[in-house]
Amino acid sequence: MSKEIHDRLPSDEAAVIEAAAVAWLCERDEAFTPERAAAFAAWRAADPRHRTAVAKVERGLELLHELPAASFAVEARLTGRRERIAHTPGSARIPAWAWATGLAAGLLVGLLFWRFPLHPPAEAQMFAASAFGPTRAVLGDGSIVNVNTQGKLEVQLGARERRVTLAQGEAHFEVKADPARPFIVVAGGVTVRAVGTMFDIRINGDAVEVLVEEGKVTVAPVPSPAREATTAAAAAPLIQAGEWAVVPRADPGAAPRIEKMEPPKMAAALQWHRRVALFNDTPLREVVAQFNRRNEAQISLADDELGARRFGGALALDHVDALLRLLEREGGIAVERRAPNELVLRRVP
């Protein structure tokens, strides 16, 4: 046995816990009584290692379903062991299920250590937007992430799920569909789960806001030992396209406030990550504010009357010079360049 594999083998105590987890899951599959269900919940809540063992064995069972050859081998060995027990003198003192459980635990633990720990977890990627504007990234699975100004997030693309942690700010996700790997975003104590959709998440002071542009997502609190020990929670609310959900950060387990959002309002809320913005009779001060959020070059207005002027047209928000040329040519406005990144707009006399 190689040293690497030997170092990864579980301790005797861990093996006992994993065997107990297998026993519980075998009993659960044959249907719990209410009393046994309560006892199982109490056992899981008693020690974080119990919850970890249950999750590991459940992953192993899922893997057996995915690998028919392995499933057949486990069943064959269990069947052979039962037959030997049945013909062994004195074996009546030892329940057959105990032998089966021990063997299943060993096989599952071995299979899990072969399948999971020997392969390092996916490397996390960090994305952050500066104070001068959003940033855009195409992930390895083809999904697109836009991070708003001063936003920060971490992405980990695993074999079984794609997980994002939004540490601060706002991000928009265009998720590539992959039913085998749900796309999960954790933000401010809230978990948002999707498969293939477009949605926006913003940590806004005392709340987490979720806006679904296309498809649908579920919103639920991040799991915790306290919640696992209680009775099963209600199904996670489903947020549909065109809906906006708000969850208080102080109580992420509370039912989110869900509202319909009209298309014009949604377009305005999501405009921050659009490269091209459409302005329709918009005050110049608002146009300037959008450009300032996206660019290092900052524009200021010499007076309030100039900011009230109305502007219309489609412009790329990262092309400041195009805006300035348009204003100079058609708006009767002069541009004063005080520094490379400091611009002042004045009315032409």
Question: Do residue 164 and residue 129 come from a single domain?
Answer: yes
Is residue 268 in some structural domain? no
pTM above threshold 0.95: no
Q: Write out pLDDT tens, residues 307-328.
A: 999 988 888 887 888 899 889 8
Q: Within 10 A of 178 (CB to CB), how many other CB atoms are there?
A: 16
Which range has highest mean pLDDT (34-38, 42-46, 74-78, 148-152)?
A: 148-152
Is residue 267 in some structural domain? no
**The pLDDT of residue 211 is above 90:** yes
Is residue 82 in some structural domain? yes
Q: What helix, strand, coil percent values describe the chain, rounded to 5?
A: 40, 30, 30
Tell which wins on pLDDT, 137 or 87: 137
Question: Do residue 137 and residue 233 come from a single domain?
Answer: yes
pLDDT in the model for residue 10: 46
Band (182; pLDDT cuts 50, 70, 90): very high
pLDDT in the model for residue 5: 36
CATH classification at residue 330: 3.55.50.30
Structural domain containing residue 177: 125-262
Q: Are the CB atoms for 166 and 185 separated by under 8 Å?
A: yes
Question: Do residue 75 and residue 129 come from a single domain?
Answer: no
Tell me what the mean pLDDT of segment 175-193 comes to. 94
pLDDT in the model for residue 87: 46
Locate 305 and state its tokens: 């009357």
Is residue 171 in some structural domain? yes
Give the position of tokens 């706002």: 170
Query: Please, which residues bridge with residue 198 across strands?
Result: 174, 214
Question: Do residue 158 and residue 256 come from a single domain?
Answer: yes
- Considering the chain, what is the average pLDDT of its residues? 78
Percent of the residues in the chain that have a pLDDT greater than 70, as a whole number? 73
Question: Do residue 145 and residue 96 come from a single domain?
Answer: no
pLDDT in the model for residue 75: 45
Is residue 330 in some structural domain? yes
Looking at the structure of the chain, the number of domains it has is 3
Question: Do residue 62 and residue 187 come from a single domain?
Answer: no
Which range has highest mean pLDDT (19-23, 69-73, 154-158, 223-227)?
A: 154-158
Locate 264 and state its tokens: 């014009």
Strands (E), the chain: 125-128, 135-138, 144-147, 152-157, 162-168, 170-174, 183-187, 190-194, 198-204, 207-214, 216-221, 238-240, 243-248, 257-260, 276-283, 298-301, 310-316, 333-339, 342-347
Q: Which one of 52, 84, 115 terminates a domain?
A: 115
Question: Do residue 64 and residue 136 come from a single domain?
Answer: no
Question: Do residue 136 and residue 251 come from a single domain?
Answer: yes
Question: Do residue 148 and residue 256 come from a single domain?
Answer: yes
Q: Are the CB atoms for 85 and 101 separated by under 8 Å?
A: no
